[in-house]
């Protein structure tokens, strides 16, 4: 469903990602690595926010690496950034409604499923998103992306700075989204142990290059963490 080969990308003429390849299909695909390893650059490139300088990105067999971000989103690829992930001056309901512009089923049906996944959101519909806690804000951001009915969900460190309660909740919900909705989740994270617990495949980046990739049941935490110290 989602395949990347020879990917090179960066900012302002500076190359961050170098010859990255991966393939993910209806699973949680973990992207791990230290700060500065290239995780966010990878997800922004997949979402069309950054245009790659080399390589190919294919979705359901079709090349999408030259498409603008809004057309990539319309294909069914949802993206939740690490920072500035909600519209703070809009209510929770308004944030979710923006995501609901895309998607084929009725908004009511999609919202009902979303409230089952994140019950707390229904109690805060009229609250400004900027007044929410970090965990609540992440629920809104992921919920807004799910309103698009995505086939692929790109999550950039969704548990960064969250309390243990919300961290555990989000990991459980990410696994449920992938399993129950058959969504491919590309999850960039720092939490190695919890991420490996829900992912089927893992890709470790180190200084923009692939340090390790494979099935999570075939690699050890020690092998993964080696990529953080190169």
Express each pLDDT in 17-55 by its tens digit.
Answer: 999 999 999 999 999 999 999 999 999 999 999 999 999
pLDDT tens-place string over residues 181-229: 999 999 999 999 999 999 999 999 999 999 999 999 999 999 998 888 7
Using DSSP bridges, classify how beta strands 152-156 and 77-80 pair: parallel, antiparallel or unpaired.
parallel
DSSP character for 183?
-
Instruction: Specify if 120 maps to a domain.
Output: yes
Using DSSP bridges, classify how beta strands 62-63 and 2-11 pair: parallel, antiparallel or unpaired.
unpaired
Instruction: Specify if 34 maps to a domain.
Output: yes
For the entire predicted model, the pTM comes to 0.94
Instruction: Specify if 70 maps to a domain.
Output: no
In contact, 92 and 133? CB cutoff 8 Å: no
pLDDT tens-place string over residues 138-184: 999 999 999 999 999 999 999 988 899 999 999 999 999 999 999 99
Instruction: Specify if 208 maps to a domain.
Output: no
How far is the C-alpha of 218 from the C-alpha of 230, rounded, in Å?
Answer: 21
DSSP character for 128?
B
Overall number of domains in the chain:
1
Domain that holds residue 133: 27-43+75-192+218-226
How far is the C-alpha of 2 from the C-alpha of 140, rounded, in Å?
Answer: 25
Collapsing DSSP to helix, strand or coil, 101 comes out as coil
How are strands ordered across the β-sheet holding 62-63? 14-24, 2-11, 54-59, 62-63
Instruction: Specify if 148 maps to a domain.
Output: yes
Instruction: Specify if 173 maps to a domain.
Output: yes
CATH of the domain at 179: 3.40.50.300
pLDDT tens-place string over residues 90-117: 999 999 999 888 878 888 999 999 999 9
What is the structure's pLDDT at 230? 52
**Residue carrying the six token digits 């609540």:** 136
């Amino acid at each position: 469903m989602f395949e990347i080969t020879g990917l090179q990308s960066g900012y302002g003429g500076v190359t961050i990602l170098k010859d990255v390849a991966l393939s993910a299909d209806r699973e949680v695909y973990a992207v791990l690595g230290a700060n500065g390893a290239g995780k966010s650059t990878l997800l922004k490139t997949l979402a069309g926010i950054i245009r790659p300088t080399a390589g190919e990105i294919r979705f359901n067999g079709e090349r999408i690496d030259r498409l603008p971000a809004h057309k990539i989103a319309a294909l069914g690829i949802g993206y939740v950034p690490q920072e500035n992930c909600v519209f703070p001056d809009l209510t929770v309901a308004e944030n979710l409604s923006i995501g609901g512009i895309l998607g084929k089923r009725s908004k009511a049906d999609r919202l009902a499923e979303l409230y089952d996944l994140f019950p707390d959101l229904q109690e805060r519909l009229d609250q400004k998103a900027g007044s929410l806690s970090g965990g609540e804000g992440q629920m809104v951001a992921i919920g807004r992306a799910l309103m698009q009915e995505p086939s692929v969900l790109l999550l950039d460190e969704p548990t960064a700075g969250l309390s243990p309660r919300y961290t555990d909740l989000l990991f459980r919900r990410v696994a449920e989204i992938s399993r129950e909705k058959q969504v491919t989740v590309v999850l960039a994270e720092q939490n190695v142990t919890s991420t490996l617990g829900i992912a089927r495949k893992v890709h470790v980046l180190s200084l923009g290059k692939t340090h390790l990739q494979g099935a999570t049941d075939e690699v050890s935490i020690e092998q993964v963490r080696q990529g953080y110290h190169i």
